[in-house]
A and B are shown apart, each in its own frame.
Chain A
Amino acid sequence: MKKHLLSAADLTVDDVATLFTTAAEMHDVQHREVKKLPALRGRTVINLFFEDSTRTRSSFEIAGKWLSADTINIAGKGSSASKGESLRDTVMTIASMGVDAVVMRHGASGAALQVSQWIDAAVINAGDGTHEHPTQALLDAYTLTRRLGTLEGRHVVLVGDLTHSRVFRSNVLLLATLGARVTVVAPPTLMPAGVETWSKDVGFATSYDLDEVLPTADAVMMLRVQRERMSGGYFPTSREYTVGYGLTRDRLAVLGPDVPICHPGPMNRGLEIAADAADAAQSLVLDQVSAGVAVRMSVLYHLLAGEGGHA
């Protein structure tokens, strides 16, 4: 495994298998009465969040604490150059305190990669702008693998605001590595620039027609659609979006009861996902959250505790 986790593309099939094996062990720990493992005792993990986050930050925080790392949360003061201090100065200051890993969330794409070039500590990308969110892709794949057995040859459908989604970008990379057949669905205005070219390189299909794709889906991932996108002219109304691209009650019926439904949260119930779908027995939304802690424990463990061995 590489020193940093910046992109889902950094991970080989073997890396993912290793991470999932450990994650499964960590997952069991979550159900024990005493959850703390000594694996990272004496190690320091900084959660450096330049952008607000509740679920990802607390997931990493719990993961670090259950591994006995000293976990410290720092809220960055925004990413704007106008605030005076350069990004380099900000992270160099923190790195100089002697940390082992920096878990970083930043509103700017590429920020985690840049930071990894400046500091010695391991950098874990916890979301960089609209670029990537590799631990989200890992926890999604982990959750789906547990449900489906394998992702090899399975048809996974991602639906939503692809242009602005880091979850989408990490997921298509990781799902391709794991051999899944992927189709991404969005209205043309929410398809990322140039996707017709690079989808071929990565290995996924695109569609504007959810109803055409849904009958062959083995799993569906709904992505959050921000209501502010309407003012940008990406789509006219939320009603129209739901009719075209929402996982409605009617579409849920098309899916059948065994097709798992994922959503990275936070959900806009009634917009991209109907309550019936979000709360259906096949919905993995809460399993994703629980798997998130286990997968992040596994990532921290493998990046910080060195190669080989198990907790």
Chain B
Amino acid sequence: MSPQDRPVLIKGASLLGEQTADVLVLDGRIAEVGSPDAPADADVLDADGLVLLPGLVDLHTHLREPGREDAETVRTGSQAAAVGGFTAVLAMANTNPVTDTAEAAERVLDLGRQAGLVDVQPVGAVTKALAGEELAELGLMARSRAGVRVFSDDGRCVSNARVMRRALEYVKAFGGVVSQHAQDPDLAGPSACCHEGEWSGKLGLPGWPGVAEEVIVARDVMLARHTGSRVHVAHASTAGTVEVLRWAKAQGIEVTAEVTPHHLLLTTDLLAGYDPTFKVNPPLRPDEDVRALREALADGTIDAVATDHAPHARHDKEHAFVDAAFGMLGLETALGVVATVMVETGAMTWADVARVMSSRPAEIAGLGGHGRPLAVGEPANLTLVDPAAATTVDRDASVSLSRNNPWHGRSLSAAVHATLLRGVPTVREGRLA
């Protein structure tokens, strides 16, 4: 019997941390919730004390393939995603070559299917080669087998207002959304490498001010209103962005936003030792921004948590801070960070975690098979979390190819116990199945 055909009985899980039930999975779907009898051949997962969530969905992952297979591949990134409790990830377009054609998008889709651990949904570039000038073939990517709906020049900002306006208008035809890396390049020098503020001034590092993000977010919500289109703010990182989002949502503008786990906890003072592990874009911000982001996530102003998982080969980080690559790992630790900063503190429930890490991101990306209720008939994309497991992060235990892990040595509460993709366990006991 292939794993796809084998029934799975999840015994005694707390659904969304609320009521406890057994869940029977048959043929990739939830067949029964309550006290089903286990078929004789069932794979029984003892979930006593565990929380069952819909499989996590990451709106923002860098899988590096094609181009930098030494840092990550679709397969190793899929492994990291599964271990992190994800059943779907959106793979950003800034690969080499860039995902700016239907063929490139289908290739990423196919690599994801071959790996078979999570659904890898390609993000298409907004502009050709991420150059910010001419629109990429948005419609052909949308019509391709990959069915691209999220478009982003992530890593770069679509800073030209004319280009952004046209992109927003154009993707309306197929229900697309533009995910913007909001960062006005004119408000910082080309070598900017951290948050502009107390620490950049002290350390003598060129920085981006928070306002470089906020002016683009403000502009984009007005463009979204003007075009009647949908804009998504990638990795929101400042209190000012939160204010703009709150206002825009109150106006009924179609704007959504994500925040990364690292922007919910890590702060600018970590740069004091010039360790490039903490070099990331958008940069780590001061504590007041972190507090505003947590509050916005809890109250729904920010819709989703997205990792911005950004693997880098070791030698790309062993440079002077200003010269080192931007980005940090995130897939394996995302749930633990959210549990630590949001659930442990009482700011959010597990049902809220399901909202921000599964159902909302799935809605934003248009992934119908993910982020669904834990109900009969729904696809069995599921994550079992041990809320009592405190773990100390060890970067060398990662299944990613890279080691740029800012969480190394930190203890996080809660751990992913098992992940099921369409009823098939991809992770058991915290390890790849």
Contact = CB atoms under 8 A, between A and B. Distances in A.
Contacts of A81: 316, 319, 323-325
A169 B198 contact: no
A169 B274 CA distance: 16
A87 B203 contact: no
30 contacts: A86-B315, A86-B318, A86-B319, A87-B319, A87-B320, A109-B205, A109-B274, A109-B321, A110-B320, A111-B320, A113-B273, A114-B320, A128-B204, A129-B205, A129-B320, A131-B204, A166-B204, A169-B202, A192-B200, A192-B202, A192-B204, A193-B197, A193-B198, A194-B201, A194-B202, A195-B201, A197-B198, A198-B198, A198-B202, A232-B189
A207 interface: no
A223 B190 CA distance: 24
A106 B200 contact: no
B196 interface: yes
B204 to A, nearest CB: 3
Interface in B224-283: 273-274
Interface of A: 79-81, 86-89, 106-111, 113-114, 128-132, 163, 166, 169, 192-195, 197-198, 232
A87 B201 CA distance: 23
A192 B201 contact: yes
B320 A79 contact: yes
Contacts of A106: 320
B198 A194 contact: yes
Nearest to A173: B202
B170 interface: no
B203 A110 contact: yes
Contacts of B318: 86-89
B280 to A, nearest CB: 16
Nearest to B206: A130
A194 B199 contact: yes
A169 B199 CA distance: 12
Contacts of A195: 201
B207 interface: yes
Contacts of A166: 204
A114 B321 contact: yes
Give the most central of A107, A111, A166, A194: most B CB within 10 Å: A194
B112 to A, nearest CB: 30
Contacts of A197: 198
B323 A108 contact: yes
Given A110-B203, A193-B201, A193-B209, 12 more contacts: A79-B319, A79-B320, A86-B315, A86-B316, A108-B321, A109-B320, A109-B321, A129-B205, A169-B202, A192-B202, A193-B200, A194-B201
Interface string B185-197: 0000100000011
B322 interface: yes
Contact of B320 (A108, A169, A193, A198): A108
B322 A108 contact: yes
A64 to B, nearest CB: 24
Interface in B275-297: none
Give the most central of B196, B209, B319, B320: most A CB within 10 Å: B320
Interface string B294-329: 000000000000000000000110111111110000
Which 7 pairs from chain A and chain B are nearest by CB?
A: A110-B274, A108-B320, A194-B198, A131-B204, A192-B201, A130-B204, A193-B201
Contacts of B189: 232
Nearest to B316: A81
Give the most central of A81, A130, A163, A193: most B CB within 10 Å: A193
B196 A193 contact: yes
A29 B323 CA distance: 42
Give the most central of A87, A110, A111, A128: most B CB within 10 Å: A110
B374 to A, nearest CB: 47
Contacts of B316: 81, 86
B316 to A, nearest CB: 7
Nearest to B271: A110
A64 B318 CA distance: 30
A102 to B, nearest CB: 15
A109 B197 contact: no
Interface in B126-165: none
A80 B321 CA distance: 11
B198 A110 contact: no
A111 B318 CA distance: 11
A131 B203 contact: yes
A130 B189 CA distance: 14
B260 to A, nearest CB: 23
